[in-house]
Structure 1
Amino acid sequence: MGVVSEQQRRIGEIRVDRSEGFGERLLGALLDRAHEMPPHLIAPLVAQEVARIGGREVSVLLQDYEQLMLMPLTGRGLLTGAPQPIDASPAGAAFLEARIVEVVQDGGTRMFLPLLDGSDQVGVMAVTLDRVDNDDRRLLRRLAGLVADMVVTKNGYTDVFTRARRRAPMSVAAEIQWALLPPLRMSVPQVEVAGILEPAYQVAGDSFDYALNGDVLHIAMIDAMGHGLGAAVMATAAIGAYRHARRSGVSLAGIYAYMDEVIAAQFGPEQFVTAQMMQLNVTTGHLQWVNAGHPWPLLIRDHEVLGQLEGTTTLPVGFGGQEPLVSEGVLRRGDRMLCYTDGLVEERAAGGEEFGLAQLIDIVADVERAQHGTRATVRELSQALKQARGGITSDDATILLTEWRGGTADYLTLLD
């Protein structure tokens, strides 16, 4: 039998505290019941749990499809008020800036907590407390995170949350496109992505996709020919082919070839999809891209538009282009890339003049001067462009903004 050292003996005597604190009991009770909880009962359960810490007047607000308003969720125990504008309300500030906003009022403090699923902003939870301390803030922040996760998880098999988010009827084509999209925002320490689709309730042929696999961020934006249901079906096939090829581990050139084959086989020689596909190493900033007849992205550095991110190009997907040459470059930390569809620049005002690339660059430059985060920038840019076009959006107009920061996220695996 070996000799046990004094250090080993002392380590063996350490007692780990596994007792359940109040916060763990509250969150644990919610989590334990959430697995079987029908979607429409989530809000009442949250209201009940918040009451256990002295909270009242609980509201859950979800962002609408145009990213203009926060729509109240109805349910037993919830305070249901009017929709809140994202641009001019405490709830909107919490949503856009992903932070707790507190408003002191008669009878207590109204707290607005962002509902974050991963890094995508789902909406906002609001609650009133008589007094607020840091323990309340920490507990409610974690509770809001759990609520966001439950809303996103349950959304896969209910229409409750989808219906709450709508402010207008949605076309069948738009139904298809929204079901196809990844979250509108993704943020990790090295990179952030944010997108928006217009017109939100009528969009058809535009779509985008992204995936962060290890140190590589894959990005694609596509624009299917035509309008309506036919364009939505073709866009669905294009994104499906893109995902299949990407998940099979083929190169960018191989992804283009597979998408081209699928669109040509299913829709014939007269139909096509323009596409911009990229791969970004989020650690080094090394960027590769293939352009298939799509508008070139804009490169933004220090909040100024440097110009288009050009390179070699090939025919749109479905036209049987040759194997494309892959363009390459290296980003600087803080660089942004703005991908967009031609609906932004080809729109014509009442006088018949095309909106054009130069005007797009001017508006991007104006919006970038505010130096806001990607989500706020995308929203402001979409609104500014729509206003500059006189409110006209006869074609889909989609924006996807990517910001590269570099570095590593390994520190997030270390617990204090």
Structure 2
Amino acid sequence: MRGSALNDLVLRTLNGARPADTLATVRSLMSEHVGAQDVRLLLADYQLTALHPIDNPDDAEALSATTAGHAFLEQIPLVCEFPGAGVEVNLPMGIRGDRIGVLQIRLDQVPDAEQLEELTQLSTVVTYAMRAAGRQSDALVRTSRTRRLTLAAELQWQLLPGRGCAAPEYTVAGHLEPAYHVCADSFDWSQDDDHLTLALIDGSDGRRVDVMLTTLAVTALRNARRAGLTIEDQARLTDQAIFAHHQGREHVGVLLLHININTGQVGALLAGAPRLLIRRDGQVLEPVLTEYPPLGMFGESTYTEQRFALVAGDRLLLISDGVHGAQSAQPHHFGDTALLELLDGSSDQSTCGVVRTVIEHLYQHRGHDDLDDDAVVLCADWRGPAQPAPDATPTGDEVDVELRLAAKRPRPPALRAVADR
């Protein structure tokens, strides 16, 4: 049995199995129908440092410098040959850009291109079944944790839409740190009709906060977005909701992007300290956006979106102040030089690889000390529509050469936001 018939059988069988029997069921099916000698299900940990087998989480494989890790980060199937011992096939497990791990199969011989494609589709089927099982059991979640989360971190991870999302026009990946005790930062996304909305929420700002603040902010933004309101009204209503609860004592920074996937036109709104960088044609650009007061500070603020256009090949990096403002022992801000160089040299990495690399170097910048502020990284690659709309004219490629005073080298050219008239 092969192809769609096997996919249907695997899905039906896994749907009827207990969550705890997922691995045994997959092994049995793969052995009978694919000829697998062994099967492992490897799940990525919360810090994106290793892949953990669900039957033996301590026997982890590092994400860096391993075939399984490369298959996870790049979301491509990879085959390793072992002379006299068969081959190992590493199949990425992900759904619409949301990566969860790797399905690792031992076979007698190297699969041909058609067989490898069928195995990759089968891995997607297994991923859907595991996602469903994860709704009913904590076993899979525990595999991804190397230690206990704080209650605040549990709240923040439950808020997230996933680790990534993808469509023909774009790929997005996001990450939070410190993973096991993140306090108040978050991110969100949604594609509705012909628009993609990205949101980065900076709730900590290096200070003690009510851990429910971000929950209120994200929920208010979603409520307004799901009502079909503009990002201006999303910000305004969230500002009012937070102010009503905290009377200006607590507030959050936010960066909202509303991207037309048919044209690449972006509506952007910045409140507080998040930052947006764009890598385009070997240059790192920064939109010149008006910085509005953080949401909840006054409760009566007016927010106006600004517009610029993306072009195919653009890479967007949305970061909280816990990333760009992180200091080293010297002290130097991470966003002054190191972050710009990382983004500039990231062309051969996937979005997931970029967020992981940024976090790795952030810890190096800090001398591997604990972070003193939450850090959020959201990376989006814009491929553009297959057939751009007639009005998809780039309007955001003007540059601003003004230097940033705190920079150790000239600030990158700025992508000037064109205000919507």
Q: Same fold (TM over 0.5)?
A: yes
Cα deviation, residue 387, structure 1:
0.8
1:97 maps to 74
2:128 maps to 149
Question: Do residues 358 (structure 1) and 339 (structure 2) align?
Answer: no
Percent identity (aligned)? 29
1:214 maps to 193
1:123 to 93, 98, 101: 101
Question: Do residues 60 (structure 1) and 54 (structure 2) align?
Answer: no
Q: How far apart in 1 are the matches of 2:222 and 2:249?
A: 23
1:309 maps to 287
Sort the Cα spacing of 1:362 and 1:137 in 2 relative to 1 into closer, same or farther, 3 A: closer
Aligned letter for 2:248?
A: P
Which 4+ runs in 1 deviate beyond 6 A? 226-229
RMSD, matched Cα: 2.2
Secondary structure of the residue that 1:60 maps to in structure 2? strand
Which range is displaced more, 318-327 or 210-219?
Answer: 318-327
Question: Do residues 50 (structure 1) and 30 (structure 2) align?
Answer: yes
Cα deviation, residue 388, structure 1:
1.7
Q: Is the 8 A contact 1:204 1:227 kept in 2?
A: no
Aligned letter for 1:262?
A: A
Q: Is the 8 A contact 1:185 1:195 kept in 2?
A: yes
Cα deviation, residue 25, structure 1:
4.1
Cα deviation, residue 213, structure 1:
1.0
Question: Do residues 238 (structure 1) and 208 (structure 2) align?
Answer: no
Cα deviation, residue 35, structure 1:
2.5
Q: Is the 8 A contact 2:257 2:266 kept in 1?
A: yes
Cα deviation, residue 27, structure 1:
2.6
Which range is displaced more, 126-135 or 197-206?
Answer: 126-135
Aligned letter for 2:48?
A: Q
Cα deviation digits, residues 153-201 of structure 1 (max 9, x gap) = 2212211111001112211111111111012111211111111111111
Q: Is the 8 A contact 1:303 1:365 kept in 2?
A: no
Q: How far apart in 2 are the matches of 1:98 and 1:409?
A: 25
Question: Do residues 262 (structure 1) and 254 (structure 2) align?
Answer: no
2:60 maps to 83
Q: Is the 8 A contact 2:183 2:211 kept in 1?
A: yes
Cα deviation, residue 122, structure 1:
1.2
Cα deviation digits, residues 238-278 of structure 1 (max 9, x gap) = 00000000000111111111101111112222111111111
Q: Is the 8 A contact 1:345 1:360 kept in 2?
A: no
Sort the Cα spacing of 1:229 and 1:355 in 2 relative to 1 into closer, same or farther, 3 A: closer
1:333 maps to 312
**Which stretches in structure 1 are left out of the alignment for 5+ residues?**
1-20, 411-416
Question: Do residues 323 (structure 1) and 302 (structure 2) align?
Answer: yes
Q: How far apart in 2 are the matches of 1:228 and 1:287?
A: 32
State the TM-score, normalized to the length of structure 2.
0.86
Cα deviation digits, residues 195-254 of structure 1 (max 9, x gap) = 111111111111000001121000111111467995431001100000000000111111
Sort the Cα spacing of 1:356 and 1:228 in 2 relative to 1 into closer, same or farther, 3 A: closer
Question: Do residues 381 (structure 1) and 358 (structure 2) align?
Answer: yes
1:11 maps to none
Which range is displaced more, 295-304 or 38-47?
Answer: 295-304
Cα deviation, residue 385, structure 1:
2.2
Q: Is the 8 A contact 1:210 1:217 kept in 2?
A: yes
Question: Do residues 400 (structure 1) and 378 (structure 2) align?
Answer: yes
Cα deviation digits, residues 43-71 of structure 1 (max 9, x gap) = 11100000112112110000111111001
Larger Rg computed on CA atoms: 1
Q: How far apart in 1 are the matches of 2:269 and 2:27?
A: 49
Which range is displaced more, 86-95 or 359-368?
Answer: 359-368
1:72 maps to 53
Q: How far apart in 2 are the matches of 1:262 and 1:389?
A: 35
Cα deviation, residue 344, structure 1:
1.6
2:91 maps to 113
Cα deviation digits, residues 320-367 of structure 1 (max 9, x gap) = 24321211111111112211111123333345x252532344433454
Q: How far apart in 2 are the matches of 1:71 and 1:33?
A: 24
Q: Is the 8 A contact 2:188 2:199 kept in 1?
A: yes
Within 5 Å, give how 1:166-185 maps onto structure 2: 166-185=145-164
Secondary structure of the residue that 1:40 maps to in structure 2? helix
Q: How far apart in 2 are the matches of 1:230 and 1:36?
A: 44
Cα deviation digits, residues 105-133 of structure 1 (max 9, x gap) = 13211111111222222110111111233
Q: How far apart in 2 are the matches of 1:37 and 1:230?
A: 43
2:6 to 26, 37, 45: 26
Which range is displaced more, 166-175 or 131-140?
Answer: 131-140
Secondary structure of the residue that 1:186 maps to in structure 2? strand
1:35 maps to 15
Question: Do residues 190 (structure 1) and 169 (structure 2) align?
Answer: yes
Secondary structure of the residue that 2:117 maps to in structure 1? helix
**Which stretches in structure 2 are left out of the alignment for 5+ residues?**
389-421
Aligned letter for 1:117?
A: I
Cα deviation, residue 408, structure 1:
3.7
